[in-house]
With several copies, the nearest count.
Chain A
Amino acid sequence: MNKHGDREPLIFELGKPGRRAPSQMPPPASSPLDLPAHLKRSAPPALPEVSELQAVRHFTRLSQLNFSIDTHFYPLGSCTMKYNPKACNSLAMLPEFLGRHPLAGEPQGFMACMFELQEMLRDITGMQAVSLTPMAGAQGEFAGVAMIRAYHRERQDDARREIIVPQAAHGTNPATAAMCGCTVREIPCDASGDIDLAALRAAVGPHTAGIMLTNPSTLGVFEHRIAEVARIVHEAGGLLYYDGANLNAILGKVRPGDMGFDVIHMNLHKTFSTPHGGGGPGSGAVGVGPRLVPYLPIPLVALKDGRYRWLSERDRPSSIGRLSGFMGNAGVNLRAYVYMRMLGREGMVRVGEFATLNANYLMKRLVQIGYEAAYPERRASHEFIITLKQEARRYQVTAMDVAKRLLDLGFHAPTTYFPLLVPECLLIEPTETETKEELDRFCDAMGIIRREMEQEPEKLRSAPHTMPVRRLDDVRAVKQPDLSFKPAA
């Protein structure tokens, strides 16, 4: 549906046999196609057949159906939906950068950017070396855990195959451990959101490969006793993995390396503001402490005798290898580089400060309105959790209902039902690029919703009302999967 009440048809439905966008067709071949018949396609693929205007209009109209940072406040927790500066995109799209084949030599200009990015990330994280190749957070995690395994293996300690993760960990943490052939042990958090140290002590042992931690945690609080956690795990022979998806919180304030972590991945598409693109691309650069340097994934950029070089298998024989066809999401890294140069040293520090200021302000205001913070006695980090368990009981409205109603009021919803251990939760991350006025408007909306809960809860349960579609039937989507358009025969 577009805003004028018509559903936007599928691009296939707009097509017609024989219709074309001729300007997009190269000149016809001048010789017959000389390929063996049994290798050839017999019927053309059922792609849409539309004019250029139809395609442009269709996708322009579709785009308008989205909420996005450029159009709406988007406080999606753990996703750091901050402003994506336009210059990051336009400079990464300079024709010389775009036109370069990844196997065509060693472009010194581009590589200078990548090298400096490695260096800046090294500094920010307090790590010893950085690799930019992982293509998103999860692949960064994979690289990290694979390095931990390589480390233990090279020390003939390969029985260490258990990865400890806190209950509240992001799903990618346990999934990554499994992809790396590890088993996962989950440990609980205490009432204030910190790790249960007794449980941790009980969990570690000679099977412990390492622990994966997010700090500030996905509960939106800073793990006080991080030094103690590090000590426990290190003494047990395990390594510490820092899930740096939430680096926005601590940029310039604390460095994971200083906290005792051996490896970190960063989500450049969060902290360093590269686009989220409707689901990606990301970049999950990894940094490592001294123990893991040899294992970093390749390629890396080195500076030798004033020339930038790609380091490959030959240079890095212990590397866990390659995780992508070339060098990861190069263009995403370039965008992060531009962003970091614009922020500069002072700007980095301010990111953490103002992200934290916004989160604490918003938390306080929502509590004043009557919402319940999951950890009221704690500082918010860059994000915080509201739990609606009272409201759920009292008014039979869920966190999902509130989320959907927020859409009606012009706000993207916070993250819902993550972390799962907090019932009916909303994980709210305003980021540093939003104004106080915008936060106040959000509070006004949450105030309206509070009144509606009491007075007309059905309005919430049946929300949204003003979106291109009403609430969608997810159960039917699973039970009767319709995953691709099938042209009428």
Chain B
Amino acid sequence: MPFIPHTADDVARMLEVIGARSIDELFDEIPADLKASSLGAVPASLCEMEVARLLGDRAARDGRLLNFVGAGAYEHHIPAPVWAITTRGELYSAYTPYQAEASQGTLQIIYEYQSMMCALTAMEVSNASLYDGASALAEACLMAVRAHRAPEARRILLPRSVNPIYERVARAITGHQGLALEPLDYDRATGCTTIAALEAAAVQGAAALVIQQPNFFGVLEDVDALTDWAHAHELKVIAVVNPISLALLKPPGEWGSGSGALKGADIVCGEGQPLGVPLASGGPYFGFMTTRMQNVRQMPGRIVGRTVDLEGRPGFTLTLQAREQHIRRSKATSNICTNQGLLVTAATVYLSLLGPAGLERVARACVERTAELVRALTRVPGVRLRFAAPRFHEAVLDLDRPVAPVLEALAARGIAGGLDLAERYPELKSALLVCATETKLPEDIERFAAALADILRKADA
């Protein structure tokens, strides 16, 4: 009986105490006609050794690719202590710290995490995580609408240079509450959102402008101008940022020229995965969200606060719970309950190990490797750089042919060569989004360039 410790003797004695003749009798309140028949699709039990063999074989079958895909999930070196600590039983197998006194470890880690996210984004409060970057944007949109003075403001201006998957997710999640997400086109030369595009949009009933920095094309937006424009039009600014990039880039809390309540973005969110979380086929990652203190009561998700105990000593506890579903039920800021705590632990350890200097090194290496990648790939005949604007660690390349077969040929050589943009951007028919982080060596970049050149040449021949 896997994971069940009962001996026959235990069962007999327990049934005796209960006063039942069999375990089956304990289910006598279930109407007989509902009782399930056997589970045909569930195979017989395997022991750990057998499952390990099965999974090992499957993993080997999937193998390892030299990865140049980014598009919202980024390969970074994960320091060995991160998961050594994160998988410690005390952190891995605890739950939501409802009993604060028996959960000070988790609580202090979350408090430290919140502090780090505030520091990175230059905001005042952080929650304890949301599910992922995409759903965090959805929550941010809902929050912006709640926080906006005008109750009829339910439109969100959403540039097309924002991750298109985020757009899909935000639409799926916010649509039922009647939010309208309105696309803003990007400048074809720079890949950026322009004031001109904003001016062309109807401001009427708009609650917020979303600004992604660096944007989906890896290009840097003019965040100051966009923020000022939004605030001038009484729109909240929702910043979507890559936390690694914040070692180099102006933090959302300082975007624009405003001051006081108008200083910087109003809500900051994004994908936390780059901070020590493995790619892992897409999850679990975590979404982060920070904001100004004035908005805290509109914030979704758990928040940890520092307080004192009976003896006046500092301690940590879940707080401001009146925002949450278990207290406010249908009036809650969100339905989120279980979040992504373990990943937050990983991120907290990651940021502690990197520190400001380490994070800057990582970010600079990303910028440099990507510049090298762009140089190497654009030397390949038939490959051109699409957008000329300054970038972080991604770039859009134009090929002289459709991207999909090229990516397949690269995969056959063990290279994940980027993301084909054709599906999401019809106007970018043969555009490839590539990424290089600090994990890439010069020989990796060479290998990619050589393979690409070879593939394009062979296809031509």
**1/0 per position for B3-25, CB-CB distance to A under 8 A?**
11111111101110111100110
Closest to B92 in A: A275
Separation of A66 and B95 alpha carbons in the complex (Å): 10
CB-based contact A29/B368 at 8 Å: yes
Report the contact-size class of chain A (Cβ under 8 Å from the partner): 35 or more
Which of B127-135, B196-204, B395-403, B446-454 is the interface stretch?
B127-135
CB-based contact A472/B6 at 8 Å: no
Which residue from B249, B339, B416 sits with its C-beta under 8 Å from A279? B339
> Given contacts A177-B330, A485-B115, are A365 and B17 in contact (CB under 8 A)?
yes
CB-based contact A41/B250 at 8 Å: yes
Is the CB of B356 closer than 8 A to any CB of chain A? yes
Which residue from B109, B129, B281 sits with its C-beta under 8 Å from A110? B281
Separation of A94 and B62 alpha carbons in the complex (Å): 11
Tell me which residues across on chain A come within 8 A of B173, comparing CB atoms: 142, 179, 323
CB-based contact A354/B4 at 8 Å: yes
Shortest C-beta distance, A368 to chain B (Å), equals 8
CB-based contact B176/A179 at 8 Å: yes
Shortest C-beta distance, B66 to chain A (Å), equals 10
Which residue from B13, B88, B99, B315 sits with its C-beta under 8 Å from A60? B88
Which of B74-82, B183-191, B230-238, B258-266 is the interface stretch?
B74-82
> Given contacts A64-B105, A321-B169, are A87 and B79 in contact (CB under 8 A)?
yes
Tell me which residues across on chain A come within 8 A of B55, comparing CB atoms: 91, 94, 113, 338
Interface residues of A in 254-300 (CB under 8 A from B): 254-255, 258-259, 267, 269, 273, 275-282, 297
Separation of A258 and B278 alpha carbons in the complex (Å): 39
Is the CB of A311 closer than 8 A to any CB of chain B? no
Which residue from B4, B10, B284 sits with its C-beta under 8 Å from A281? B284
Shortest C-beta distance, B375 to chain A (Å), equals 12
> Given contacts A87-B80, A93-B83, A327-B282, are A21 and B355 in contact (CB under 8 A)?
yes
CB-based contact B104/A66 at 8 Å: yes
Shortest C-beta distance, B366 to chain A (Å), equals 9
CB-based contact A483/B304 at 8 Å: yes
Separation of A34 and B63 alpha carbons in the complex (Å): 37
Is the CB of A107 closer than 8 A to any CB of chain B? yes
Shortest C-beta distance, B239 to chain A (Å), equals 13
Tell me which residues across on chain B come within 8 A of A357, comparing CB atoms: 6, 11, 14-15, 18, 23, 26
CB-based contact A136/B69 at 8 Å: no
CB-based contact B345/A278 at 8 Å: yes
Which of A198-206, A220-228, A448-456 is the interface stretch?
A220-228
Shortest C-beta distance, B34 to chain A (Å), equals 5
Nearest first, the 8 closest Cβ-Cβ pairs linking A and B are A344-B45, A70-B89, A277-B342, A326-B282, A279-B341, A109-B58, A102-B282, A321-B172
CB-based contact B95/A81 at 8 Å: yes
Tell me which residues across on chain B come within 8 A of A307, comparing CB atoms: none
Tell me which residues across on chain B come within 8 A of A81, comparing CB atoms: 93, 95
Task: Give 20 A-B contacts (CB < 8 Å), ordered by A residue.
Answer: A44-B247, A89-B87, A109-B60, A139-B135, A139-B336, A175-B332, A259-B34, A324-B283, A329-B131, A330-B283, A331-B280, A331-B283, A342-B3, A378-B29, A412-B99, A435-B10, A470-B311, A477-B319, A478-B305, A483-B111
Is the CB of A306 closer than 8 A to any CB of chain B? no
CB-based contact A24/B353 at 8 Å: yes
CB-based contact B326/A278 at 8 Å: no
CB-based contact B283/A332 at 8 Å: yes
Is the CB of B215 closer than 8 A to any CB of chain A? no
**1/0 per position for A402-430, CB-CB distance to B under 8 A?**
01100100001101101000000000000
Is the CB of B443 closer than 8 A to any CB of chain A? no
Which residue from A34, A138, A224, A404 sits with its C-beta under 8 Å from B338? A138
CB-based contact A99/B67 at 8 Å: yes
CB-based contact A51/B3 at 8 Å: yes
Tell me which residues across on chain B come within 8 A of A390, comparing CB atoms: none
> Given contacts A94-B56, A126-B36, A174-B330, are A24 and B79 in contact (CB under 8 A)?
yes
Is the CB of B151 closer than 8 A to any CB of chain A? no
> Given contacts A137-B337, A345-B39, are A113 and B58 in contact (CB under 8 A)?
yes
Tell me which residues across on chain B come within 8 A of A87, comparing CB atoms: 48, 51-52, 79-80
CB-based contact B47/A27 at 8 Å: yes
Separation of A136 and B283 alpha carbons in the complex (Å): 12
Most buried by A among B42, B81, B84, B416: B42
Tell me which residues across on chain B come within 8 A of A25, comparing CB atoms: 47, 354, 357-358, 361-362
Separation of A208 and B275 alpha carbons in the complex (Å): 44
Is the CB of A119 closer than 8 A to any CB of chain B? yes
Shortest C-beta distance, A485 to chain B (Å), equals 4
Closest to B7 in A: A18
CB-based contact A124/B365 at 8 Å: no
Most buried by A among B77, B282, B315: B282
Tell me which residues across on chain A come within 8 A of B285, comparing CB atoms: 325
**1/0 per position for B251-280, CB-CB distance to A under 8 A?**
100100000000000000001000000111
Is the CB of A379 closer than 8 A to any CB of chain B? yes
CB-based contact A123/B278 at 8 Å: no
Total count of chain B residues near the partner, CB < 8 A = 209
Is the CB of A396 closer than 8 A to any CB of chain B? no
Shortest C-beta distance, A453 to chain B (Å), equals 19
Separation of A226 and B111 alpha carbons in the complex (Å): 44
Is the CB of B430 closer than 8 A to any CB of chain A? no
CB-based contact B334/A175 at 8 Å: yes
> Given contacts A41-B246, A65-B104, are A175 and B328 in contact (CB under 8 A)?
yes
Which residue from A17, A63, A91 sits with its C-beta under 8 Å from B91? A63
Separation of A221 and B28 alpha carbons in the complex (Å): 12
CB-based contact A328/B283 at 8 Å: yes
> Given contacts A415-B98, A484-B115, are A324 and B131 in contact (CB under 8 A)?
yes
Tell me which residues across on chain B come within 8 A of A258, comparing CB atoms: 34, 36
Name A's interface SS: loop
> Given contacts A280-B340, A435-B5, are A345 and B45 in contact (CB under 8 A)?
yes
Tell me which residues across on chain A come within 8 A of B279, comparing CB atoms: 98-102
Is the CB of B298 closer than 8 A to any CB of chain A? no
CB-based contact B128/A279 at 8 Å: yes
Which residue from B2, B83, B341, B371 sits with its C-beta under 8 Å from A343? B2
CB-based contact A342/B47 at 8 Å: yes
Shortest C-beta distance, B231 to chain A (Å), equals 17
Is the CB of A156 closer than 8 A to any CB of chain B? no
Closest to B221 in A: A39
Closest to A10 in B: B112
Interface residues of A in 206-238 (CB under 8 A from B): 221-222, 224, 226-227
Is the CB of B360 closer than 8 A to any CB of chain A? yes
Is the CB of B459 closer than 8 A to any CB of chain A? no
Closest to A8 in B: B108
CB-based contact A171/B324 at 8 Å: yes
Closest to A94 in B: B59
Is the CB of A393 closer than 8 A to any CB of chain B? no
CB-based contact A33/B338 at 8 Å: no
Most buried by A among B8, B60, B99, B322: B99
Is the CB of B444 closer than 8 A to any CB of chain A? no
**1/0 per position for B156-169, CB-CB distance to A under 8 A?**
00000001011011
Tell me which residues across on chain A come within 8 A of B56, comparing CB atoms: 91, 94
CB-based contact B90/A356 at 8 Å: no
Tell me which residues across on chain A come within 8 A of B438, comparing CB atoms: 26
Closest to B101 in A: A467
Tell me which residues across on chain B come within 8 A of A82, comparing CB atoms: 3
Is the CB of A346 closer than 8 A to any CB of chain B? yes
**1/0 per position for A363-398, CB-CB distance to B under 8 A?**
011001000000000110000000000000000000
Is the CB of B103 closer than 8 A to any CB of chain A? yes
**1/0 per position for A1-43, CB-CB distance to B under 8 A?**
1000001101110011111111111111111011110111110
